[in-house]
Amino acid sequence: MKSKVSLALCLLVVLVVADWLSKYYFNANFHLYQSQQVIGENFLRWTLVYNQGFSFSIGANYPVLMRVLVGSFAVIVAIVLTYLAWKKLVTPSLPKPEKYTAWAFILVASGAFGNGLERIFFGHVTDFIHFTFGTWSFAVFNLADIWINLGIYLLIYNLLFVRAK
């Protein structure tokens, strides 16, 4: 039990640190809106942008205080998810669906900590991963966004395939 909790907390810290180090790297080595081709002529680019809004830049025109409050809310959600994961992981003989839920909570909490704290301290989130497919361009995102999406996918998988058995 303790090893699962330790592993979960280590994973959370590693994912938040990886997110922040990647953001630090791009802030130190790229100018705002600078873009560099990575894979293919028009598939994956590194493009430094600051997202002052939330998902897909929604709320970018909100006052700074509102954006900081949303960042604070994200951190509170991350704390609650971490606590809920901890409660699940210290339970002896935890059923498989609950294990999946706990790990999904850790992934989402990692992303919420990464983006939420950055929004509180800097008033924006650093995004840099940019996929394009022909003329279609996907929103620029970061590692924290990936952690959140992986957690959500794990929750959906858990609901559709693990709990359904």
Q: Which residues are catalytic?
A: 127, 145
H runs (alpha helix) in the chain: 2-29, 64-89, 96-122, 143-157
Token look-up 């609950």 returns 98
- Other CB atoms within a 10 A radius of the CB of residue 122 amount to 15
Cα dist from 16 to 43, 47, 108, whole Å? 26, 20, 11
The phi-psi region of residue 39 (left if phi > 0; otherwise alpha if psi is between -120 and 50; otherwise beta) is beta
- Other CB atoms within a 10 A radius of the CB of residue 52 amount to 17
Contacts of 35 (CB under 8 A, 6+ apart): 45, 46, 47, 48, 130
